[in-house]
Amino acid sequence: MGGRITRRFRIVGKVQGVYFRHSTRGEAMRLEIAGYARNLPDGSVEVLAQGDGPAVEELLRWLHRGPRDARVDDVVELNPPSAAECGKDFEVR
């Protein structure tokens, strides 16, 4: 066990309208990660992930490729979120 960590990412590319948020939720649930995925006005997707360190790292690797119809150009780490921003489950917002 690597201990719980919280990280936030912005995924850039063809990531809206390709089932990216829902696919991310599926991966996060499989990895027992809490947090959210939400569309941003600039066409990117923000993902907040809280869970066991190795599980969050595995989700990050998945974010670099995304679901089949997505095209991920970049994954940027954003400032760490506050603990209050994370719920108990993974939400699509």
Kindly report, residue by residue over 17-76, the tens digit of the pLDDT: 999 999 999 999 999 999 999 999 999 999 999 999 999 999 999 999 999 999 999 999
Annotated catalytic residue, options 39, 61, 71, 79:
39
pLDDT at residue 81 is higher than 90 = no
Q: Which one is the CATH code of 4-82: 3.30.70.100, 3.40.630.30, 3.10.580.20, 3.20.20.70?
A: 3.30.70.100
- As a three-state string, the secondary structure of the chain is CCCEEEEEEEEEEECCCCCHHHHHHHHHHHCCCEEEEEECCCCCEEEEEEEEHHHHHHHHHHHCCCCCCCEEEEEEECCCCCHHHCCCCEEEC
Annotated catalytic residue, options 7, 8, 21, 25:
21
The question of whether 10 is a catalytic residue gets the answer no
The question of whether 79 is a catalytic residue gets the answer no
The Cα diameter of the chain in Å comes to 36
pLDDT value for 83: 64
pLDDT value for 91: 86
